[in-house]
């Protein structure tokens, strides 16, 4: 047995982190964030070269066919750099939906295009995700109507997948399709937007090949939750690293502030929260390939725990920076907001814990 | 990441389950007040040793089961025992702290002599570290030992010595090199508690029982070969022991065990006609703790993996005590809340027999605070995490007072 990352996973982290270090300096991040779309063509093609587009796409369809743990490792790296790019929905939930619920022809049509970076699919849920906002959708034949807000990875998406309450999914084009209205809003987190879809008899392809559509939808939702937990992990690590560095440089009362016990203890508290979070995220990602109850509880607890620990770490790391931490100038707030965004999407901690109780049959 | 069970692992899991099914009723109760293992605990220990559920990786010549380390096996055994609520064997300062210390830095003779009887529960050890004037500042210990006629002669006083009133031996941190600096002047001796000149005076703790003691030394003679490593190496050895102590105190298996008990209790305990697990406020506390226990558990597996590979886990290891003791305290706090007013009747019956369930949880809840303080308080853990783990500068120090020999 081994609990940890493989050589390949460590390399994936390293190369992605190296790439983002170089290609996404603060001024570039600011520039992309200003638009608020969570998408930049240059960054996207760079990430395509990095190979993460096909991370969840099976090799038969031109992807890398990696595991959800690999994806979680990538999510952590993206969160570490607050990368303004589609990921959790477009590169994880969408391909997983096609794998679980698409028929052979649909898989052939879509998966290779995801792997090449040609299509970017936003994902929303009509019910079941546990988000606040509008979430109604109705299917009449292959015509989809309804209103879904808080759709993930919708900025500059080429297509959308909407999950219906019964677990089936509907796929449609983002533009030029009559009856589809897409409005993307800059969010609190300028690195990723929120999208609202209003649909009137929009023509959609139904992804309904799963034996148990509800279970398939839940698995995709949980995979998304693990990705957001991974993203928060990276963002929290980033804030901690910045706070630690700052505490070794900033001088007050003729001492670096990191020599004050209160500051030192704050940093100790953060790392004590943070390291076990990493193991929980890894485990949750790994567990998604295993027995259903364990997978559910792990994903839900990871999402919930990272939501809470992330918020606490974000506050403490900001405090360590003093007034500088509160400025726009430093840019620390991008990570703070990234963590806040991840907390609310796909079910906040309380909601996820409730689902975990149900999954364990503690309550009905 | 590889958490698959090989067929060997599945077989071990089956074995452990049927073992627990067949013999579990013989297990002593876990938790509650500390006491010398009774006949039941010793028999159980013997059975576990015989079957390899305890001391699995300690060499046979030292009395262990002698298998090579396989962390999955250890994780399976720990999990099965904690979920079943069966004692995983004796955990005390000798077994969990001194034995790994000897394995790490002791001589072969010392291992042969001490490990076997210790893991069987025949020799009970106590830890002679704290003194009235040096608790957190452990290296300021003043209890001294000088060499005379080929023996150490120990004088001084220790305090908060858990189990000293029934222990057979003590591992003692004392000053042997009066001419050396604070940290370089210490040695780590193995002292028989029945040696003339040792006086143990029990101290009653907040649990109402006398669980720790003051220990006085007046010209106590200790053979010079009962030193671990050399003279002046005491600080190093003491820290090896502290490393294991802190892993023990933050042990995630204990948390898994506690969580399983809390779930059971909340499913059966009623408040105004409702099960506690159906009351959202209590359930939310339980669920929060479940997330934290899971994170701690997998963190533990990660550390074991790194240890098995011979990697240095750095700060990841240093956080274990701080993290684990706080979660343990919050878990037992939830349980005493579930027991509520009905759990307040409190009559610890001491070392002679077993306490009732509520009293046991109340003792555990109080003892958890003791464990937050003992083994280096939370503040000290945070200093260590910050300084050794994160490379932050130490507090500027006042000039240390001269150390007396
Ligand atoms: C249940 C229990 C069992 C124990 N068993 C044993 C045993 O078997 N053998 C043994 O040798 N000892 C034992 N101890 C003693 C234990 O190791 C000490 O109590 C502990 O190290 C703290 O030392 P102290 O009591 O002198 O407190 P102090 O060192 O006086 O500390 C008092 C407070 O000051 C804080 N403090 C001290 N220094 C600093 C600093 N540098 N920075 C920030 N805060 C600081 C501490 O965190 C604490 O909150 C036990 C203690 C308990 C509670």
pTM of the model: 0.95
Query: With 70 as the cut, is the pLDDT of residue B280 above it?
Result: yes
Q: How confident is the model at residue B125 (pLDDT cuts 50, 70, 90)?
A: very high
Q: Which CATH class is domain A213-359?
A: mainly alpha
Query: With 60 as the cut, is the pLDDT of residue B332 above it?
Result: yes
Listed range (A158-162, B363-367, B398-402) with the worst mean pLDDT: B398-402
Distance CA B290, CA B101 (A): 32
Residue of B9, B291, B338 to mutate when probing chain A, most A C-beta within 10 A: B291
**Do residues B120 and B49 touch, judged by C-beta distance below 8 A?**
yes
- The structural domains of chain B, with segments of one domain joined by +, span 7-91, 125-232, 249-389
Measure A253 CA to ligand 1 centroid, in angstroms. Answer: 30
Q: Give the CA distances from residue A104 to residues A143, A172, A196, A210, in Å, rounded to whole numbers and listed in that order.
A: 22, 17, 30, 12
Q: How confident is the model at residue B344 (pLDDT cuts 50, 70, 90)?
A: very high
- C-alpha A162: how far from its chain's center? 17
Q: How far is B389 from chain A (nearest CA, A)?
A: 9
Q: Residue with the nearest Cα to atom 40 of ligand 1?
A: B380
State pLDDT tens for residues B55-81. 999 999 999 999 998 888 998 999 899
Picking from B1, B382, B386, the nearest residue to A286 by CB comes out as B1
3-state DSSP assignment of residue B102:
helix
Given phi > 0 = left and psi -120 to 50 = alpha, else beta, which region is A218? alpha
Token pair 């990368």 is found at A83
User: In the A/B pair of chains, how many CB contacts fall below 8 A?
Assistant: 146
What residues of B are labeled active site? Answer: 245
Q: Residue with the nearest Cα to atom 1 of ligand 1?
A: B370
Q: Are B392 and A5 an interchain contact pair (Cβ–Cβ within 8 Å)?
A: no
Question: Phi and psi at residue A49, in whole multiples of 5°?
Answer: -65, -30
Residue of B391, B392, B397 to mutate when probing chain A, most A C-beta within 10 A: B392
Residues with CB under 6 A from ligand 1: B 126-130, 135-136, 160-162, 212, 370, 373-377, 379-380, 383
- The structural domains of chain A, with segments of one domain joined by +, span 7-115, 121-207, 213-359
Q: How far is A89 from chain B (nearest CA, A)?
A: 24
Whether residue B284 lies within 8 A of chain A, CB to CB, comes out as yes
Q: How confident is the model at residue B308 (pLDDT cuts 50, 70, 90)?
A: confident
Q: Say which CATH superfamily domain B125-232 falls into.
A: Butyryl-CoA Dehydrogenase, subunit A, domain 2 (2.40.110.10)
3-state DSSP assignment of residue B227:
strand
A177 vs B13, higher pLDDT:
B13
Measure B136 CA to ligand 1 centroid, in angstroms. Answer: 5
pLDDT value of residue B35? 80
Listed range (A25-29, B4-8, B362-366) with the worst mean pLDDT: B4-8
Distance CA A335, CA A315 (A): 11
The residue in chain B having the minimum alpha-carbon distance to the alpha carbon of residue A362 is: B277
Q: Are B392 and A264 an interchain contact pair (Cβ–Cβ within 8 Å)?
A: yes
Listed range (A333-347, B201-215, B280-294) with the worst mean pLDDT: B201-215
CATH number of B249-389: 1.20.140.10
The dihedral built from the CA positions of residue A342, A347, A349 and A353, taken in this order, carries a sign that is: negative
Query: With 80 as the cut, is the pLDDT of residue B401 above it?
Result: no
pLDDT value of residue B402? 64
**Do residues B286 and B361 touch, judged by C-beta distance below 8 A?**
no
User: What's the mean per-residue pLDDT of chain B?
Assistant: 94
Q: Give the CA distances from residue B136 to residues B317, B379, B380, in Å, rounded to whole numbers and listed in that order.
A: 20, 9, 7
Residue A136, C-beta contacts closer than 8 angstroms, at least 6 positions apart:
A126, A127, A146, A147, A148
pLDDT value of residue A24? 98
Among candidates B253, B265, B263, which has minimal Cα distance to B328?
B253
Q: Are B290 and A356 an interchain contact pair (Cβ–Cβ within 8 Å)?
A: yes
The number of helix segments (H) and strand segments (E) in chain B equals 13, 9
Structure tokens at B200: 């143990």
Picking from A69, A255, A301, the nearest residue to B1 by CB comes out as A69
pLDDT value of residue B104? 96
Q: Say which CATH superfamily domain A121-207 falls into.
A: Butyryl-CoA Dehydrogenase, subunit A, domain 2 (2.40.110.10)
Instruction: Tell the CATH topology of A7-115.
Output: Butyryl-Coa Dehydrogenase, subunit A; domain 1 (1.10.540)
State pLDDT tens for residues B132-183. 999 999 999 999 999 999 999 999 999 999 999 999 999 999 999 999 999 9
Distance CA B262, CA B328 (A): 11
Residue of B8, B70, B75, B295 to mutate when probing chain A, most A C-beta within 10 A: B295
Measure B161 CA to ligand 1 centroid, in angstroms. Answer: 12
Show residues of chain A in contact with B393, CB under 8 Å: 248, 255-256, 258-259
As averages over each run of 10 residues, the pLDDT of chain A (364 residues) reads 94 97 97 96 96 96 97 98 98 98 97 97 95 94 96 97 96 90 97 97 96 97 98 98 98 96 98 98 96 95 98 98 96 98 98 97 92
Show residues of chain A in contact with B75, CB under 8 Å: 1
Q: Are B1 and A6 an interchain contact pair (Cβ–Cβ within 8 Å)?
A: yes
pLDDT value of residue B404? 58
Q: Which whole number is the average pLDDT over B310-332?
A: 97
State pLDDT tens for residues B26-39. 999 876 667 889 99
**Do residues A337 and A188 touch, judged by C-beta distance below 8 A?**
yes
Q: Are B316 and A286 an interchain contact pair (Cβ–Cβ within 8 Å)?
A: no
Query: With 70 as the cut, is the pLDDT of residue B398 above it?
Result: no
| CB contact residues (below 8 A), chain B span 68-107, against chain A | 70-72, 75
Query: With 90 as the cut, is the pLDDT of residue B337 above it?
Result: yes
Query: With 90 as the cut, is the pLDDT of residue B109 above it?
Result: yes
Pairing of strands B186-192, B169-175: antiparallel
Q: Are B322 and A272 an interchain contact pair (Cβ–Cβ within 8 Å)?
A: yes
pLDDT value of residue B31? 67
């Amino acid at each position: 047995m081994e609990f940890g990352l493989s050589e390949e996973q460590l390399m994936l982290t390293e190369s992605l982190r190296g790439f983002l270090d170089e290609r996404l300096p603060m001024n570039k991040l600011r520039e992309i964030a200003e638009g608020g779309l969570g998408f930049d063509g240059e960054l996207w093609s760079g990430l395509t070269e990095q190979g993460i587009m096909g991370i969840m796409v099976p090799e038969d369809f031109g992807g890398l066919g990696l595991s959800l743990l690999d994806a979680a490792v990538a999510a952590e790296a993206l969160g570490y750099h607050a990368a303004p790019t589609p990921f959790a929905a477009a590169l994880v939930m969408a391909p997983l939906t096609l794998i679980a619920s698409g028929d052979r022809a649909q898989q052939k049509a879509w998966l290779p295009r995801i792997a090449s970076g040609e299509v970017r699919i936003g994902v929303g849920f009509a019910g079941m995700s546990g988000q606040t906002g509008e979430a109604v959708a109705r299917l009449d034949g292959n015509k989809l109507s309804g209103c879904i807000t808080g759709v993930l990875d919708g900025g500059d998406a080429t297509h959308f997948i909407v999950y219906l309450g019964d677990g089936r999914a509907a796929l449609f084009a983002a533009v030029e399709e009559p009856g589809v209205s897409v409005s993307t809003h800059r969010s609190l987190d300028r690195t990723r937007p929120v999208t609202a879809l209003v649909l009137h008899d929009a023509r959609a392809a139904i992804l309904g090949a799963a034996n148990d559509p509800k279970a398939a939808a839940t698995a995709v939702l949980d995979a998304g939750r693990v990705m957001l937990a991974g993203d928060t992990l990276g963002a929290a690590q980033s804030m901690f690293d910045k706070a630690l560095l700052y505490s070794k440089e900033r001088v007050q009362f003729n001492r670096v502030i990191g020599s004050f016990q209160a500051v030192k203890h704050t940093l100790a508290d953060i790392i004590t929260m943070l390291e076990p979070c990493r193991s929980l995220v890894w485990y949750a990602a790994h567990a998604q390939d295993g027995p259903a109850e364990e997978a559910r509880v792990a994903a839900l607890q990871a999402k919930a725990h990272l939501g809470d620990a992330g918020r606490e770490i974000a506050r403490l790391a900001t405090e360590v920076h003093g007034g500088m931490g509160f400025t726009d100038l430093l840019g620390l707030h991008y990570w703070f907001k990234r963590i806040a965004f991840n907390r609310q999407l796909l079910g906040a901690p309380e909601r996820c814990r409730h689902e975990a109780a149900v999954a364990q049959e503690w309550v009905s | 990441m590889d958490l698959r069970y090989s067929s060997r692992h599945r077989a071990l899991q089956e074995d452990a389950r049927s073992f627990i099914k067949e013999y579990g009723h013989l297990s002593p109760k876990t938790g509650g007040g500390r006491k010398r293992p009774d006949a039941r605990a010793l028999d159980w220990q013997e059975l576990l040793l015989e079957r390899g559920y305890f001391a699995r990786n300690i060499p046979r010549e030292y009395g262990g089961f002698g298998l090579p380390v396989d962390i999955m096996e250890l994780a399976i055994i720990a999990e099965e025992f904690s979920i079943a609520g069966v004692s995983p064997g004796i955990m005390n300062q000798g077994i969990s702290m001194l034995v790994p210390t000897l394995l790490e830095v002791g001589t072969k003779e010392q291992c042969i002599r001490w490990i076997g009887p210790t893991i069987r529960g025949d020799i009970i050890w106590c830890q002679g570290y704290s003194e009235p004037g040096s608790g957190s500042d452990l290296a300021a210990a003043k209890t001294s030992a000088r060499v005379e006629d080929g023996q150490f002669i120990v004088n001084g006083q220790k305090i908060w010595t858990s189990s000293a009133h029934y222990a057979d031996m003590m591992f003692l941190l004392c000053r042997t090199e009066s001419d050396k600096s604070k940290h370089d002047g210490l040695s780590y001796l193995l002292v028989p508690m029945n040696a003339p000149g040792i006086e143990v005076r029990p101290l009653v703790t907040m649990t109402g029982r006398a669980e720790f003691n003051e220990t006085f030394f007046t010209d106590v003679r200790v053979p010079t070969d009962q030193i671990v490593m050399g003279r002046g190496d005491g600080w190093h050895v003491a820290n090896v022991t502290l490393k294991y102590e802190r892993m023990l105190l933050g042990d995630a298996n204990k948390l898994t065990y506690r969580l399983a008990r809390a779930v059971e209790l909340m499913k059966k305990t009623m408040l105004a006609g409702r099960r506690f697990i159906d009351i959202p406020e209590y359930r939310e506390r339980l669920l929060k703790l479940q997330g934290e226990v899971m994170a701690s558990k997998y963190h533990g597996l990660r550390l074991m993996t790194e240890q098995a590979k011979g990697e240095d886990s750095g700060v990841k290891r240093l956080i274990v005590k701080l993290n684990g003791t706080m979660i343990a305290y919050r878990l037992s706090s939830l349980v005493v809340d579930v027991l509520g007013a009905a759990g307040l009747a409190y009559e610890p019956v001491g070392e002679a027999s077993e306490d009732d369930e509520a009293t046991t949880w109340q003792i555990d809840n109080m003892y958890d605070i003791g464990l937050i303080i003992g083994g280096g308080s939370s503040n000290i853990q945070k200093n260590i995490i910050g300084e050794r783990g994160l490379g932050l500068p130490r507090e500027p120090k006042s000039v240390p007072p001269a150390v007396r020999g």
